[in-house]
Amino acid sequence: MTATEMLAAMEAGTTTSETLVRGCLERIEKLDSDIGAFLSVREDAALSAAREIDQRRSDGKPIVALAGVPIAIKDLICIQDEITSCGSKMLANYRPPFNATVIEKLIAADAVLIGRTNMDEFAMGSSTENSALKLTRNPWDVSKAPGGSSGGSAACVAADMVPISLGTDTGGSIRQPASFCGISGLKPTYGRVSRFGLVAFASSLDQIGPFAKTAEDLSLVLDVIAGHDARDSTSSPQAGIKSKDLLGKSPQGLRIGRIKECLDGGVQSAVSQAIESACQEFAKQGAEIVDVSLPHLEYGVSTYYVVATCEASGNLARYDGAHFGHRSNDATTLAELYETSRSEGFGAEVKRRIMLGTYALSAGYYDAYYNKALKVRRLIRDDYRNAFQKVDCLIGPTSPTTAFALGERTSDPLAMYLSDVYTVLANLAGIPAISIPCGFDENNLPIGLQLQGPAYADAELLQTAALYQGVTDWHVRRPA
C-alpha cells in the first residue's frame, strides 16, 4: 500500500494506524534479518503514537497530513534523546538533545516514526557498505548493493516494510539507491527543506528528501517537510508551490531535454534503452523531446569531490573525542586523544574524504582545488540555466548501471566516485531531481530514470513524474 492509499483506508475506516504499524513491524521482523535496512526499530513508541492518532481520528478530532502513516528515518537526522549514529562508530551512542526541523514537522503531521535506517558512514558512499554498523542488501537481489548512502531508507521502502522514508542527498544519496531499489526518490531544491538537525556531510550540497513508491507519495511528504526555517540560514524564504496542487493535472506543452552527454558510452545498454523508451513514452503523452547539452557534465564528479570533501573536512572536525562521540581509551594527552579517537571512530572512506578535503584546503592548494571547483560549480549551474531556457526538465539515467554487487567496488574508491556522475550535478547546481523506476535489466534489476528541473520547480517535476507513472507500471513492481 502507498501512503496515499493508507490515508484513504484510515479515512474510510477500513484500517487503523495501529494495524498498519503492526503490519510494518511484522514485515521488518520477517525480512530485515536478510535485508538489514534498519539500525533500530521504535516498536513501542511507534505503536503508542499510532494508537493515539487512531483515538484522535475516532474522536473526530482534526486530522493532519500524514496522520498515522508509518515512516522510516535515515540515521543522520536528529531525533531528540534517541541514538543518531550516522552509521558511524563515532556516534554509536550519541543522543542529540533536540529534534531536527523535519522531525518536528513529521510529528506535527502525525507521521509515525518507525525506526532508523542504515547508511554509509556520515552519508559518504554509494553502496551503504561504508556503514560501520551493518550491511544492507538490495531487496531485488541480496547479493547486490542497495545503493547509497541512503541504502537503508531505499531498501525498506522497496521491501514494503514501510510506505515512505526520509533520506538525504549530497551527491545522489537518495536518487541512486531509489534507482537501484526500484522506487521513487526526490532530492528537493537546495533550501526547500531545512537542514537543521541533519548531521552535515557537505553543507552546501546536503538536502533531505523522501523515498516512496509513487510521485504522489513523494509529493505528500515534500509538502509536509518543505518550508522556510529561521534556524537554517540557507533555508529559502521562497515558498514553493504545494506539489499536491499540481498532481493529476496534465502538464501543458511539456518540453523535455534529453541530456546528450548521457547518451555517450559508459552507460549500461539496458539503462540507455530504458531511458530511450521512457522518452518515447513521454512523447506519446504529448511532450516534446529535444536534445540538450550540459557541456561541463564530465567535470561534475571532480568538482563534487573537491567541494564535498573540503566541507566535510570542516564539518567532521567536531568529532574529536573531547566534546561528544567516541573517545579513545588509549590516550593520555590531548593530542593523542584527538588522533586516536578519530582514527578509531571513523571508517576508511570517511578518513579518505577528510584527507582529501584537508589536502585540498591546505596552504598552497586552495586555489588549485577548492576555488577552482567553486568556479566550475558556477559553470555547471550556468549549463543548467541555459538548458532550462529551452526545456522544462531534463531526462537521463540516474546511474550508469543497475545495482552492482556487494564488495565489487569497495577496493576502488575512484570507480565508486565515478558512478555518481549523473547525480552530483543537481547538488552542485542546487536544483531538484527525482529518480523513478523505468525498467529492468536482463537480471531483473531495476533501472532508474532521473528528471531534473529548475530551482523551485519541485512540484512541476513531481507532476511530470506522476504523468509517467500514470501510464507505466514499473513503479508498482515489487521484488519477489
Closer of 62 and 97 to another protein (Cβ):
97
Q: Does 272 bind another protein (CB under 8 A)?
A: no
Q: Does 404 bind another protein (CB under 8 A)?
A: no
One residue of 30, 61, 249, 318 binding another protein per CB under 8 A: 318
| Distance of closest approach, residue 44 Cβ to another protein, in angstroms | 22
| Distance of closest approach, residue 352 Cβ to another protein, in angstroms | 6
Residues 111 and 224: beta-carbon distance below 8 Å: yes
Q: Does 340 bind another protein (CB under 8 A)?
A: yes
Residues 428 and 209: beta-carbon distance below 8 Å: no
Write down the catalytic residue from 74, 105, 144, 213: 74
> Distances in Å between the alpha carbon of 43 and those of 34, 73, 391?
19, 14, 47
Write down the catalytic residue from 173, 179, 194, 219: 173
Closer of 108 and 322 to another protein (Cβ):
322
Binding flags for another protein, 215-254, as an x/- string (CB under 8 A): ---------------xxxxxxxx-----------------
Q: Does 310 bind another protein (CB under 8 A)?
A: yes
Output the CA torsion sign for 179, 175, 112, 41: positive
Whether the bond into 149 is cis, omega within 30 of 0: yes
Site residue total, another protein (CB under 8 A) = 98
Residues 38 and 172: beta-carbon distance below 8 Å: no
> Distances in Å between the alpha carbon of 303 and those of 11, 279, 388, 418?
48, 29, 21, 12
149 given a catalytic annotation: yes
74 given a catalytic annotation: yes
One residue of 377, 387, 398, 448 binding another protein per CB under 8 A: 377
Round the CA-based radius of gyration of the chain to a whole number and report it: 21
The cell 554509494 sits on which residue?
A: 126
One residue of 47, 107, 263, 337 binding another protein per CB under 8 A: 337
The three cell numbers of residue 376 are: 566550475
Residues 217 and 211: beta-carbon distance below 8 Å: no
| Distance of closest approach, residue 425 Cβ to another protein, in angstroms | 12
Q: Tell which positions 430-459 bind another protein, by CB under 8 A.
A: 430
Closer of 46 and 380 to another protein (Cβ):
380
Q: Does 314 bind another protein (CB under 8 A)?
A: yes
Q: Does 119 bind another protein (CB under 8 A)?
A: no
DSSP state of 172: S
Q: Does 311 bind another protein (CB under 8 A)?
A: yes
Helix, strand, or coil (residue 55)? helix
Closer of 18 and 120 to another protein (Cβ):
120
Q: E strands, 38-139, where?
A: 38-41, 70-74, 112-117
Beta strands 207-212; 184-187: pairing state = antiparallel
| Distance of closest approach, residue 82 Cβ to another protein, in angstroms | 12
Closer of 175 and 213 to another protein (Cβ):
175
Q: Does 320 bind another protein (CB under 8 A)?
A: yes
In 91-147, alpha helices (H):
101-108
**What is the C-alpha to C-alpha distance for residues 479 and 444, in angstroms, rounded to an integer?**
9
- Residues catalogued as catalytic: 74, 149, 173
